Structure 1
Amino acid sequence: MEYMIGAYATAPSTQLWDQELETNYYQELKSLSNIVGLEHPFVGRLHPYDDEWFLQNIDNRWQFIFTSIPGVMGQLAHNPHFGIASTNEAGRQAALAFYQQAQQAILKLNNHLKREAVSYLKIHTAPKITEHTQSSIQALKTSLETMQSWNWYGAKLIIEHCDAYIVGQEAEKGFMRLEDEITAVKQVNSKLNSDIGISINWGRSAIETRDTNGPIQHIKQAYLNGLLKGIIFSGTSDIDGPYGQWKDTHMPPAQALFLPCYAENSLLTMEQMKKSIQQCNYQQLDFIGAKISLSPNKASVAQRIGYIKSITALLDHVLEVQ
């Protein structure tokens, strides 16, 4: 099986740019034969630090999924009304302008590789819902219709579900409920004959529901509605520790088999991965992958690659026994 890997989360340069370390890391990534491509962070430009470095260091055979969540969270830090689902029109328009920048980044990558290299653009239903900032299905539908009219140069739009706003619960993202995202997508797809999809991040669904059944239910819900395009496995914990309690810190999986790289107290167990995959026909999905971080973020390039090898080996085992 081949996987999409959110390698940016495991990279040496998550906070400070070290070109030499990052170059070594990408060289090792390119040696992993079971990686079909990368989930790549979009922050307003092609690469957070250096577009040209990125173009020179990627594997020309890789496929890409752009994820807008790092950029969306950065925008929300300055403008809490920002988001494609925002009932604040200025905030909604700011989000559309941000995604037009993503359109140009996709074009730049395609031009370099001389092919349509981006399969999906993951979009997110900001803003964070609070007393002062609200979202609506209608606002989301309006944004999706606008975005679907643009040329995405081979990429498809996909909503990555993040933990939704729950009354009385501290949110990590606090975006829209999955039910509302599904409603908006199905109505837009029906109206435009489009193929906007949904993807589930295991950890974010567990964080929302405070339960390992959350990802299972979300995967099943998206699948039964005909919208599930992919699953990314990323962990979390219900116990405070290096990765926090119910935090979106991309925790590695729990110990399993004889794999050397894991995280104590991770709720992402091999059994939970099996249960998640069983909620859908995984062979119909467009991607399966993983995104993990290290906390504290102190490790050699070899150790970082070791964590990626461990979670892909775990996925291989899970999928082989289905």
Structure 2
Amino acid sequence: MLSRPSPITVVAAQMTQPADISERASFAGAIRGIPGVDGFEVPVANTVWNEDVEWISPQLALGGEHVLSLIGAFMDRRADGVGLASSNHDKRLEAINLVRTAHQYAEYIHQAGSGRIRDLIVYSAPTAEDPKIAGAWMRESMNRILSWDWHGINVVIEHCDSIRHDGSFEKGFLPIEEELDILDALSAPNTGIVVNWARSAIEGRSTQTPIEHVVLARERGWLRGITLSGVVPTTSDFGQPWADAHAPFSDAEGAAGEPSSLLNLSAAADFIRAAGNGVDFREVKVAVRRADADAAARIETNRHALSAITMASNHTDADRPS
């Protein structure tokens, strides 16, 4: 088996960035300055990207390794049924063209400076009423996408919560088992799956589901990334119960945290250790909703979540024989 490079650590800084666009570049610089941060997760082809592309592109080109995501692009078009797993040819083609936009943007970043895109995250959208049919279309779309020259970039599927029979789902994309079967069928070296702590917890209504998903993906040989993002099981500043709203950690202090979040340092460290060191990236994706959150609190929200990676690494090192 080919050896994989060491995992990078990226931050979805757009989740905590200031509302004032003129302050965002300096905020991103502060996030980049946190020890252990290798780069950013950047949404492409959505509303946030349209606002940020002029200032974020130079940040990416400066250096580091980064991850691009199409979740915002797909969710912006959710009502229209656009997605790589759509049974409608035109909607599927529209989704593929969004991936093409990300491909072109990655090439632009590579040509503009020393920054590199390590992974592009795609999704098995739209909501899948019949996972087998949707899975077949997703496999066809991925086969086409992976035929392009990606210049070393991995195109990975982030698992989101699948349909629940009671209708209480957020995304309703493909089950993780179906996504893993697609990867088996593709058998391509530059793809894999990403497990998001919150999105798996939302699916299972349990803090154990993220561990189950990450272990399953690792055992199947397709785990490529993990995302630290929290969820609140009750109504809160982050919306309705089990909303996919990127809640921060419950043990972060003041405006940097959310006391009702199910994610804390201990749970995050367990998740990271379960994933192991064979992933391409570890991502922090937490948001701030409190009106009194100043720049310091926004930075601390990310710093606190990042400390879980250090905690997990130290635990692993302590367990090794001397």
TM-score, length basis structure 1: 0.88
Does residue 1:112 correspond to 2:106, yes or no?
no
The letter for the 1-side match of 2:230 is G
| Aligned residue among 179, 184, 194 for 2:182 | 184
| Aligned residue among 27, 30, 50 for 2:29 | 27
CA gap 1:299/1:225 in 2 versus in 1, 3 angstroms: same
Distance in 1 between the 2:264 and 2:31 partners?
24
Matches within 5 A, 1:212-251: 212-244=207-239, 245-251=241-247
Provide the residue aligned with 1:87 in structure 2.
87
Structure 2: 5+ residue runs without aligned partners? Answer: 1-6, 317-322
Structure 1: 5+ residue runs without aligned partners? Answer: none
The letter for the 2-side match of 1:119 is R
Shift of 1:169: 2.9
Q: Is the 8 A contact 2:120 2:155 kept in 1?
A: yes
The letter for the 2-side match of 1:177 is P
| Aligned residue among 245, 248, 254 for 1:252 | 248
Shift of 1:195: 3.2
Shift of 1:143: 0.6
Provide the residue aligned with 1:126 in structure 2.
125
CA gap 1:176/1:298 in 2 versus in 1, 3 angstroms: farther
CA gap 1:134/1:37 in 2 versus in 1, 3 angstroms: same
Q: Deviations over 1:271-308 (max 9, x none)?
A: 3223323423x222221121100113652222211111
| Aligned residue among 254, 279, 296 for 2:290 | 296
Shift of 1:2: 5.8
Q: Is the 8 A contact 2:83 2:126 kept in 1?
A: yes
Does residue 1:314 correspond to 2:308, yes or no?
yes
Q: Is the 8 A contact 1:254 1:268 kept in 2?
A: yes
The letter for the 2-side match of 1:316 is T
Distance in 1 between the 2:61 and 2:120 partners?
19
CA gap 1:45/1:240 in 2 versus in 1, 3 angstroms: closer
The letter for the 1-side match of 2:91 is G
Distance in 1 between the 2:66 and 2:45 partners?
15
The letter for the 2-side match of 1:94 is E
Q: Is the 8 A contact 1:156 1:195 kept in 2?
A: yes
Q: Deviations over 1:147-182 (max 9, x none)?
A: 001122331110000111111132211110000000
CA gap 1:297/1:24 in 2 versus in 1, 3 angstroms: farther
CA gap 1:153/1:48 in 2 versus in 1, 3 angstroms: farther
| Aligned residue among 43, 50, 54 for 1:41 | 43
The letter for the 2-side match of 1:11 is Q
CA RMSD of aligned residues (A): 2.4
Shift of 1:216: 0.7
- Percent identity, aligned pairs only, is 25
Does residue 1:75 correspond to 2:70, yes or no?
no
Q: Is the 8 A contact 2:152 2:190 kept in 1?
A: no
Shift of 1:218: 0.5
Distance in 2 between the 1:72 and 1:283 partners?
30
Shift of 1:50: 4.4
Distance in 1 between the 2:46 and 2:114 partners?
22
The letter for the 1-side match of 2:174 is M
Q: Is the 8 A contact 2:247 2:287 kept in 1?
A: yes
Q: Greater shift after overlay, 97-106 or 258-267?
A: 258-267
